[in-house]
Structure 1
């Protein structure tokens, strides 16, 4: 009766560890450099902080505008003053008006 004996090769023992190392390196690389990796989360955090500062600035501008509108709409101003403010803000005038520019303003 014939039996085959295989020599154990060193390559046979290394196949599973090499494949495992390849899979692990793939997942480690993508956990750092991938779309949801460490670098992407760092960039996201920076953009979030920039957007929070923009939001704070816009909120303060909005509050200033709301106060200005509240002062204009409380009835204490005359119609001429409101009309003047609107024309100045919108840069409009009537055809029969004359504009004099003052460089000191």
Structure 2
């Protein structure tokens, strides 16, 4: 029978004593045993590493992606700014509608009509006192 190597390769659940061929140097046998052990363990490590990479990819895109959490926050800020703008525009519209209602034929307000005519045509009443203010450029 062959001789047995004093080098012992440890497995997960067992202890292996490896046989040695007398023609092979002991250091070569030891390096082959290490290579075999690395191959066996690498098969056990490959799938968890790939799984961790896939998990990292999806985690990154969940946070940083086009439809991720940060984009969701930016979109919420944009929606809140748009709502604020909408509210101010609605108030402006209501104010203009109230003023135009005063100019309708059925509820004509003569004071409003006179004010609009003076502003539009730069007219003044003969009894009005006109005060010229210096322009801001001077």
Per the TM superposition, whether the score is higher than 0.5 is yes
Partner of 1:12: 43
Higher RCO, 1 or 2 (CA under 8 Å, sep at least 6)? 2
How far apart, CA to CA, are the structure 1 residues paired with 2:51 and 2:117? 72
Partner of 1:3: none
Could you list the runs of 5+ residues in structure 1 that have no partner in the other structure?
A: 1-6, 94-99
Partner of 1:77: 110
CA 1:71–1:36 in 2, change beyond 3 Å: closer, same or farther?
A: same
1:1-105 superposed matches below 5 A: 7-8=36-37, 9=39, 10-73=41-104, 74-77=107-110, 82=113, 85-86=116-117, 88=119, 102-103=132-133
- Kindly indicate which of the two structures has a greater share of residues assigned to strand: 2
Highest Rg: 1 or 2?
Answer: 2
Could you list the runs of 5+ residues in structure 2 that have no partner in the other structure?
A: 1-35, 123-129
Aligned-residue CA RMSD (Å): 2.5
Q: TM-score when scaled to structure 2?
A: 0.55
How far apart, CA to CA, are the structure 2 residues paired with 1:34 and 1:75? 58
- Kindly indicate which of the two structures has a greater share of residues assigned to helix: 1
How far apart, CA to CA, are the structure 2 residues paired with 1:22 and 1:54? 44
